[in-house]
Amino acid sequence: MNPAFKSHIENGIAEIVINKAPVNALDSVEWQALADLINATGKNLDVSVLIIRSEGRGFCAGVDIKELDQYPERIVSVNAGNYETFKAVHLCPIPVIVALHGYVLGGGIGITGAADIVVASECTTFALPEVDRGAMGGGAHLQRLFPVQKVRYLFFTGETISVQDADKYGFIERIVPKDQLRENALEIAGKIAAKSSDMIRIAKESLNGIEDGDLEAKYRWEQGFTLQAYTSPDSAETRRAFVDKRDANF
């Protein structure tokens, strides 16, 4: 088990908990390890539903910008790990519930947008600051949460949206106090786990099959532009400015 997260299975419910101080930003190895864990969990016939949640200050701050600032060549590995993680969530044979708190950024948006059910604490915020980090990607998953024009506004500006403002778009199943987040996620998971596991797995595959468009193909298209962006001096400057905790100079 990678130290950046832990897992637990009980009564047909699996939990994967991200816990990497200080902000739950995962590096290239950790993203791939998370994808492998999600895939293995989905193949476990003793599991009917998966909850993904986090400990610490927020759900997920995305990729480790400090790693990419120091080792820019690792963008290919980071891209691969992101792709495999989001794909593992979306195509997981069982329903995936995300229990969100604090910030949901970058790769956190990818996990959330790929999931089946969203539960969030009252302190949750969403943002996709890819442009400000010299990257691309995540718009496909953000578009499963918000309508097209809102996605573009959030992507172009990098602005943060509160869970209360996000709620009007309909993708959040419940907004609860933070100390009741896990309890509510487990309650929903329990309703699913009480049903026929075979029927739930068939239902998940069926529902994925009737979605409009190909989420994975859309995200791969975006990732091509991430590589293009990383060849730009402006992209390197955004990462250096982030590490130095200063405004970028263009």
Q: What percent of the chain has pLDDT over 70?
A: 100
Is 25's pLDDT higher than 80? yes
CB 112 within 8 A of CB 141: yes
Question: Looking at the structure, do residues 94 and 49 belong to the same domain, yes or no?
Answer: yes
Q: Is residue 62 part of a domain?
A: yes
pLDDT for 37 = 98
Res 1 pLDDT > 80: no
The answer to the question of residue 171 being in a domain is: yes
Does 250 fall in a domain?
no
Give the Cα separation of 219 and 88 in Å (integer): 13
Confidence of residue 42 (pLDDT cuts 50, 70, 90): very high
In a domain, 106, yes or no: yes
Q: What is the CATH number of the domain that holds 80?
A: 3.90.226.10
Domain final position from 194, 216, 231: 194
Are both 65 and 92 inside the same structural domain?
A: yes
For residue 71, which amino acid is it?
A: Y
Residues 6+ apart with CB under 8 A from 37: 1, 2, 5, 7, 16
Pairing of the two strands 25-26 and 62-63 = parallel
Q: Residue 89 burial by CB count (10 A; 0-12/13-18/19+): exposed, middle or buried?
A: buried
- Amino acid occupying residue 223: Q
Asked if residues 166 and 158 have their Cβ atoms less than 8 Å apart, the reply is no
The band of 233, judged by pLDDT with boundaries at 50, 70 and 90, is confident
What is the C-alpha to C-alpha distance for residues 42 and 39, in angstroms, rounded to an integer?
5
* Enclosing domain of residue 210: 197-244
- What are the pLDDT digits (tens) for 195-212? 999 999 999 999 999 998
Query: Does residue 249 form part of some domain?
Result: no
Considering the domain architecture, whether residues 175 and 105 belong to the same structural domain is answered as yes
How many structural domains comprise the chain? 2
